[in-house]
Amino acid sequence: MKEKLIDLFEYTYHFNTEMIKVISENLERVDEKTISLINHTLNAQQIWNSRILNEKTFEVWQMNPFEALGEINQQNFEKSIEVINNFDPDQKITYQNSRGVAFENTVFEMLFQAINHSTYHRGQINSLLKQNGIEPVLTDYIFYKR
């Protein structure tokens, strides 16, 4: 299980990196929604990691300096691997969402949410890139594994 989760976070890290690269190469052509979504994608992974690790979280829609996104992506990846290596995937974690409502989920559920959420928003970003005349990034997992 841990090896599969690590593989999925390597995939997530790889394509977040590719998205940041394509956006940076086309900054004059991307819109604010694209910048907001890449920030949100990275923020959400940081938030899920921090909920598990009981650390301070980012704001869901905070805007980070664009030049910091690569480092945030790297830190997110390292924290996700730390969680995988140091927590039982079936361990339940109690946390509060951004509205202060308490929930309880397993570490696996929280990690899978981070992966799935990133995939969803990369799809949205690709759609926005295409609308702005920028070649979208082929992010399918199967292509990553080929």
CATH code of residue 124: 1.20.120.450
Give me the pLDDT at residue 112, please.
98
Using CA atoms, how far residue 146 sits from 9, 17, 142, in Å, is 17, 18, 6
Chain mean position to CA 33: 16
14 is known to lie in a ligand binding site: no
Question: 42-87 pLDDT, tens per residue?
Answer: 999 999 999 999 999 999 999 999 999 999 999 999 999 999 999 9
Q: Quick one: tokens of 94?
A: 């109690």
| Structural domain of 108 | 2-145
Phi, psi (degrees; rounded to nearest 5) at 117: -60, -45
Mean pLDDT within 4-27: 98
- Give the chain's mean pLDDT: 97
Chain mean position to CA 3: 18
Could you give the angle at the alpha carbon of 18 between the alpha carbons of 54 and 44, nearest 5°? 25
Query: How far apart are the C-alpha atoms of 132 and 126, rounded to whole Å?
Result: 10
Total tally of structural domains belonging to the chain: 1
pLDDT more than 70, % of the chain: 100
Query: How far apart are the C-alpha atoms of 113 and 50, rounded to whole Å?
Result: 13
Query: How far apart are the C-alpha atoms of 1 and 133, rounded to whole Å?
Result: 40
| CA nearest neighbour of 19 among 43, 42, 46 | 42
Chain mean position to CA 30: 19
Mean pLDDT within 12-19: 98
Could you give the angle at the alpha carbon of 139 between the alpha carbons of 9 and 122, nearest 5°? 80
First-to-last C-alpha distance (Å) of the chain? 21
